[in-house]
Amino acid sequence: GMTRIIEKIRQRRKNRASVAASRSKESKNELTAGWYYSFEFFPPKTEPGLDNLLTRIERMTRRLDPLFIDVTWGSEGSTAARTLSVASQAQRYFGVDVLMHLTTTGL
Q: Please report the pLDDT score of residue 33 as a whole number.
A: 56
The reported pLDDT for the residue numbered 102 is 83
Phi, psi values for residue 92, rounded to 5°: -70, -45
Determine which one of 30, 40, 58, 76 is catalytic: 40
How is 57-78 classified by DSSP, letter by letter?
Answer: HHHHHHHH--SEEEEEE-GGGT
- Beta-bridge partners for 17: none
Contacts of 34 (CB under 8 A, 6+ apart): 12, 13, 16
User: For 18, how many CA atoms within 13 A lie in the half-sphere containing its CB?
Assistant: 5
Q: Which of 69, 97, 71, 68 is nearest to 84 (CA)?
A: 71
Per DSSP, which regions of the chain are E strands? Answer: 38-41, 68-73, 98-102
- Could you confirm whether 40 is annotated as catalytic? yes
Across the chain, which has 107 residues, the per-10-residue mean pLDDT values are 78 81 57 75 93 96 92 82 93 93 75
Reported as a single tens digit per residue, the pLDDT across 28-50 is 445 445 778 899 999 998 999 99
What is the pTM for the complete model shown?
0.73
Count helices and strands (H / E) in the chain: 4, 3
